[in-house]
């Protein structure tokens, strides 16, 4: 590094260690927040509105709801919001960078790749967690439900945000073409919104699709978050946690491979 | 500004760097071996698509060579891309993503990302902003800056805390002539600080003035390497005869004294021996009196003539002038 007599100049040694990592994370967060400052507040507000709209829509769809169904719908809206932000917004931002040709510059900055990834997960949480809260509050008001929040809400939300964002991140970095990335994230969003038993019970789906969802993470993400917000609405929570955890670990692994890969 | 030690421990060496696409069908780089010393401004010159950007992307670790090695001192940049990103700074050809940054914020934050000390960055950033004469936009958002000023901000961003190797891919694009000169001064200063500067350019005239040594690359291959003067040695004793033909006129028959020639649009550039200067002028005047040419100029051989001889291409700025 620099000495007293040298104000600034080419590096003399390679920086490493936890201080370098944390400094890099902080700098990268500031970089992203500044580079998105014109759109970031809009993005958060839009996500909140989407979440609120979703909750209101559900309450309009069902004329009469039992307390259990009400809880199901209320938490479903919140969970979908939480999953979609990481899964859809991340690939879209990265695809945008590739399209503008700025990807090479961000990727050439001397930031540990792991710190770049963690910065993304934090950004994703900054957008998705408030949106989820709005969804919960609006749904509680429209559907007249009461939540039972346990401490498990923290690990449940963390697991869902991390795995959702990392799956999106891995897709964004693995696919070279920005338009294909956009398409894949749209298809994922569509699939999660329409064909995932988060706002309706698993049994409502044809059997083969039920089996698919027992392997995919989305249904289980719904179970763990719902379990942390309600009492007696879901069961098989242990299985759900192990599957979400498995997907989280797999997404960490795949992200590690994708970002370490050079063409 | 202090001078850094520029000993042999930071020599850059690429050895046999080869990079192909489409499963080996197209070569972007083929067996490129160069050595660059601290303090040198080293030009990578070649037509568009020659493989210059591909080469520097392998240095910074954005791409991986199929074979060959890239070392900076003891550091293996291919094996350790983390080290490559810390030791090299990179100004890509594409615009910088600074729409929502104020000019000084973009510089400060990149400096911190590059590991610089906060107060030292402020000091050097101010010096560079002043030296480039871009103070008036200090607090302006990137989205409102002209392309040329954005290019300069990009340069300051990546060099406010310079790497041991500073890679500049077409740094003068869109920059006005006055600030271009200021930019060249700053590039020279980087050399004096002990950095090795890689200057990727297709602008031969600028390169001739700015670089210590250069490599001419075309179709992925290193065609020649050396100082600008040494590349002109093959044309020693020659002159450059440039004839502007009447639009649409076909190539005139060339007398035997023309050693080689090339044409872009209506601009005909030929190389002749010094002893043939009188005959050359007479030939050009005859072309004018025959109504085939509009004007001509006879001058010293430039790096561009060597470049044309090596690559068979006329440089971009000459092509633009001709069109």
- pLDDT tens-digit series, residues A48-92: 888 888 888 877 877 777 888 888 888 888 898 888 888 888 888
Q: CA torsion A221→A224→A228→A232, rounded to 10°?
A: 120
Residue, of B140 and B320, whose pLDDT is higher? B140
pLDDT range class, residue B319, cuts 50, 70, 90: low
Share of chain A above pLDDT 70, in %: 97
Helix residue ranges per DSSP H, A36-148: 40-61, 67-84, 90-100, 103-108, 113-143
- Among residues A260, A102, A95, the alpha carbon closest in space to that of A177 is found at A95
Mutate to test the interface with A, among B86, B139, B167 (most CBs of A within 10 A): B86
Residue, of B60 and A2, whose pLDDT is higher? B60
Q: pTM, whole model, 2 decimals?
A: 0.87
The B165-169 sheet, strands edge to edge: B75-76, B67-72, B12-21, B26-36, B221-226, B213-218, B41-45, B196-201, B165-169, B88-91
Min mean pLDDT across A36-45, B63-72, B144-153, B207-216 is at A36-45
CA distance A92 to chain B (A): 16
How confident is the model at residue A229, as a pLDDT? 94
3-state SS assignment for residue B116: coil
The CA distances from residue A220 to A83, A86, A210, A244, B90, in Å, are 11, 16, 12, 6, 44
**Cα radius of gyration rounded to whole Å, chain B:** 22
- Among residues B185, B181, B133, the alpha carbon closest in space to that of B1 is found at B185
Q: What is the mean pLDDT of residues A18-29?
A: 93
How confident is the model at residue A196, as a pLDDT? 87
Record: contact A14-B86, CB cut-off 8 A: yes
CB B142 within 8 A of CB B103: yes
Q: Which residue has the tokens 């100049």?
A: A9
When the pLDDT of each residue in chain B is averaged and rounded to a whole number, the result is 90
Q: Sign of the C-alpha dihedral, residues B9, B114, B195, A259?
A: positive
Identity of the residue in B64, B94, B115 whose CB atom sits nearest the CB atom of A15: B115
The widest CA-to-CA distance across chain A, in whole angstroms, is: 76
CB A89 within 8 A of CB A43: yes
Residue B207 pLDDT greater than 70, yes or no: yes
pLDDT range class, residue A1, cuts 50, 70, 90: very low
Q: What is the mean pLDDT of residues A153-173?
A: 92
Residue B314 pLDDT greater than 70, yes or no: no
Q: What is the mean pLDDT of residues A32-44?
A: 85
Record: contact B194-A38, CB cut-off 8 A: no
Going by their DSSP bridges, the two strands B196-201 and B41-45 should be labelled as parallel
Name the residue of chain B whose CA is nearest to A103's CA.
Answer: B97
- Among residues B286, B241, B236, B233, the alpha carbon closest in space to that of B261 is found at B241
pLDDT range class, residue B131, cuts 50, 70, 90: very high
Residue A152's CB is within 10 A of a number of other CB atoms, namely 15
Residues whose CB falls within 8 Å of the CB of residue A43, separated by 6 or more in sequence, listed in order: A36, A89, A127
CB A20 within 8 A of CB A111: no
How confident is the model at residue B64, as a pLDDT? 94
Q: What is the mean pLDDT of residues B41-46?
A: 94
Mutate to test the interface with A, among B7, B102, B113, B122 (most CBs of A within 10 A): B113
The CA distances from residue A13 to A10, B6, B273, in Å, are 9, 14, 53
How confident is the model at residue B315, as a pLDDT? 62
User: Which residues from chain A sit within 8 angstroms of residue B97, using beta carbons?
Assistant: 35, 97, 100, 102, 105-106
Chain A: which residues have CB within 8 Å of chain B? 1-2, 5-11, 14-15, 20, 23-24, 27-28, 30-31, 34-39, 97, 100-102, 104-113, 262-263
The CA distances from residue B239 to A1, B228, B258, B260, B296, in Å, are 51, 16, 10, 11, 13
Backbone angles phi, psi at A166, to 5 degrees: -70, -35
Record: contact B92-A27, CB cut-off 8 A: no
Mutate to test the interface with B, among A2, A4, A10, A98 (most CBs of B within 10 A): A10
Q: What is the mean pLDDT of residues A5-32?
A: 82
Record: contact B94-A104, CB cut-off 8 A: yes
Record: contact B97-A10, CB cut-off 8 A: no
User: Which residues from chain B sit within 8 angstroms of residue A259, using beta carbons?
Assistant: none
Name the residue of chain A whose CA is nearest to B6's CA.
Answer: A10
Q: What is the mean pLDDT of residues A28-42?
A: 87
Name the residue of chain B whose CA is nearest to A38's CA.
Answer: B100
3-state SS assignment for residue B70: strand
Residue B84 pLDDT greater than 70, yes or no: yes
Residue A183's CB is within 10 A of a number of other CB atoms, namely 14
Residue A149's CB is within 10 A of a number of other CB atoms, namely 10
User: Which residues from chain B sit within 8 angstroms of residue A15, using beta carbons?
Assistant: 86, 115
- pLDDT tens-digit series, residues B266-291: 889 899 999 999 999 999 999 999 99
Record: contact A6-B2, CB cut-off 8 A: yes
Record: contact B98-A35, CB cut-off 8 A: yes
Residues whose CB falls within 8 Å of the CB of residue B304, separated by 6 or more in sequence, listed in order: B204, B205, B208, B269, B314, B315, B318
pLDDT range class, residue B318, cuts 50, 70, 90: low
pLDDT range class, residue A3, cuts 50, 70, 90: very low
Instruction: Show the tokens assigned to B322.
Output: 């001709």
How confident is the model at residue B316, as a pLDDT? 56
Q: Sign of the C-alpha dihedral, residues B70, B74, B79, B85?
A: negative
CB A113 within 8 A of CB A259: yes
The widest CA-to-CA distance across chain B, in whole angstroms, is: 69
Instruction: Show the tokens assigned to B65.
Output: 């060579």
Instruction: Show the tokens assigned to A19.
Output: 């201080």
Q: What is the mean pLDDT of residues B40-44?
A: 96
Identity of the residue in A1, A37, A102 whose CB atom sits nearest the CB atom of B100: A37
**Domain residues of chain A, as ranges?**
17-260
User: Which residues from chain A sit within 8 angstroms of residue B90, using beta carbons?
Assistant: 104-105, 108
Backbone angles phi, psi at B216, to 5 degrees: -100, 120
User: Which residues from chain B sit within 8 angstroms of residue A39, using beta carbons?
Assistant: 100
How confident is the model at residue B76, as a pLDDT? 95
Q: How far apart are the first and last CA of chain B?
A: 44
- pLDDT tens-digit series, residues B168-200: 999 999 999 999 999 999 999 999 999 999 999
User: Which residues from chain B sit within 8 angstroms of residue A95, using beta carbons?
Assistant: none
Say how many CB pairs under 8 Å bridge A and B.
120
Record: contact A102-B123, CB cut-off 8 A: no
Identity of the residue in A5, A15, A262 whose CB atom sits nearest the CB atom of B61: A262
- pLDDT tens-digit series, residues A87-110: 888 888 888 888 877 888 988 999
Is the ipTM value over 0.85, yes or no?
no
Identity of the residue in A28, A110, A263 whose CB atom sits nearest the CB atom of B115: A110
**Cα radius of gyration rounded to whole Å, chain A:** 20
- pLDDT tens-digit series, residues A194-249: 888 988 888 889 999 999 999 999 999 999 999 999 988 888 899 999 999 999 99
Q: Round to whole Å and give the CA distance between B142 and A102.
A: 14
Instruction: Show the tokens assigned to A141.
Output: 């008001």
Record: contact B94-A36, CB cut-off 8 A: no
Share of chain A above pLDDT 90, in %: 38
Identity of the residue in B86, B92, B162 whose CB atom sits nearest the CB atom of A105: B92
CB A203 within 8 A of CB A126: no
How confident is the model at residue A2, as a pLDDT? 39
CA distance B41 to chain A (A): 15
Residue, of A72 and B5, whose pLDDT is higher? A72
Residue B4 pLDDT greater than 90, yes or no: no
CB B18 within 8 A of CB B67: yes
How confident is the model at residue A5, as a pLDDT? 33
Residue B22's CB is within 10 A of a number of other CB atoms, namely 7
Q: What is the mean pLDDT of residues B192-217?
A: 90
Q: Round to whole Å and give the CA distance between B312 and B48.
A: 13
pLDDT range class, residue B317, cuts 50, 70, 90: low
Share of chain B above pLDDT 70, in %: 94
Instruction: Show the tokens assigned to B232.
Output: 């002109």
- Among residues B295, B231, B289, B298, the alpha carbon closest in space to that of B258 is found at B298
Record: contact B87-A11, CB cut-off 8 A: yes
Identity of the residue in B62, B109, B194 whose CB atom sits nearest the CB atom of A107: B62
Q: Round to whole Å and give the CA distance between A135 and B28.
A: 52
CA distance A11 to chain B (A): 6
3-state SS assignment for residue B30: strand
When the pLDDT of each residue in chain A is averaged and rounded to a whole number, the result is 87
The B267-273 sheet, strands edge to edge: B260-264, B267-273, B238-245, B293-300
């Amino acid at each position: 590094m620099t000495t007293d007599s040298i104000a600034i100049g080419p590096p003399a040694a390679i920086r490493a260690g936890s201080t370098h990592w944390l400094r890099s994370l902080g700098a990268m967060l500031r970089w992203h927040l500044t580079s998105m400052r014109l759109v970031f507040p809009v993005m958060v507000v839009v996500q909140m509105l989407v979440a609120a709209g979703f909750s209101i829509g559900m309450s309009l769809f069902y004329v009469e709801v039992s307390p259990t169904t009400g809880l199901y719908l209320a938490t479903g809206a919140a969970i979908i919001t939480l999953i979609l932000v990481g899964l859809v917004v991340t690939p879209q931002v990265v695809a945008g960078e590739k399209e503008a040709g700025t990807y090479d510059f961000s990727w050439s900055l001397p930031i540990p790749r792991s710190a770049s990834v963690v910065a993304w997960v934090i950004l994703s949480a900054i957008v998705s967690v408030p949106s989820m809260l709005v969804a919960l509050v609006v749904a509680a008001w429209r559907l007249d439900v009461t939540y039972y929040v346990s401490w498990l809400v923290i690990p449940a939300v963390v697991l869902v945000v991390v795995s959702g964002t990392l799956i999106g991140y891995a897709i964004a970095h693995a696919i070279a073409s920005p338009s294909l990335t956009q398409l894949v994230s749209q298809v994922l969003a569509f699939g999660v919104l329409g064909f995932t038993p988060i706002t309706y019970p698993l049994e409502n789906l044809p059997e083969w699709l039920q089996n698919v969802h027992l392997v995919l993470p989305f249904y289980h993400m719904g179970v763990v978050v719902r379990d942390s917000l309600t009492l007696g609405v879901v069961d098989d929570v242990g299985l759900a946690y192990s599957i979400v955890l498995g997907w989280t670990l797999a997404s960490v692994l795949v992200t590690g491979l994708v970002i370490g890969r050079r063409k | 500004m202090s001078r850094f030690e520029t000993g042999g421990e930071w020599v850059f060496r690429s050895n046999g760097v080869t990079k192909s696409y489409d499963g080996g069908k197209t070569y972007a780089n083929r067996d490129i071996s160069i050595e660059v010393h601290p303090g040198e401004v080293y030009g990578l010159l070649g037509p568009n698509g020659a493989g210059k950007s591909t080469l520097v992307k392998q240095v910074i670790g954005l791409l991986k060579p199929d074979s060959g090695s890239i070392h900076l001192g003891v550091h293996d940049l291919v094996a350790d891309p983390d080290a490559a990103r810390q030791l090299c700074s990179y100004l890509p050809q594409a615009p910088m993503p600074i729409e929502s940054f104020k000019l000084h914020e973009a510089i400060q934050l990149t400096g911190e990302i590059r590991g610089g000390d906060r107060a030292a960055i402020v000091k050097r950033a101010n010096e560079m902003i002043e030296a480039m004469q871009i103070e008036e936009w200090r607090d302006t958002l990137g989205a409102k800056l002209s392309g040329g000023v954005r290019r300069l901000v990009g340069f300051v961003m990546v060099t406010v805390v310079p790497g041991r190797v500073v890679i500049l891919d077409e740094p003068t694009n869109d920059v006005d002539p006055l600030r271009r000169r200021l930019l060249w001064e700053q590039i020279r200063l980087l050399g004096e600080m002990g950095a090795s500067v890689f200057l990727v350019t297709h602008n031969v005239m600028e390169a001739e003035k700015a670089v210590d040594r250069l490599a001419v690359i075309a179709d992925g291959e290193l065609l020649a390497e050396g100082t600008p003067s040494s590349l002109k040695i093959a044309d020693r004793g020659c002159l450059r005869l440039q004839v502007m033909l009447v639009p649409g006129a076909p190539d005139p028959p060339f007398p035997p004294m023309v050693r080689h020639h090339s044409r872009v649009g209506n601009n005909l550039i030929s190389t002749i021996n010094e002893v043939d200067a009188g005959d050359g002028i007479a030939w050009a005047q005859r072309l004018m009196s025959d109504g085939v040419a509009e004007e001509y100029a006879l001058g010293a051989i430039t790096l561009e003539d060597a470049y044309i001889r090596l690559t068979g291409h006329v440089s971009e700025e000459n092509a633009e002038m001709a069109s």
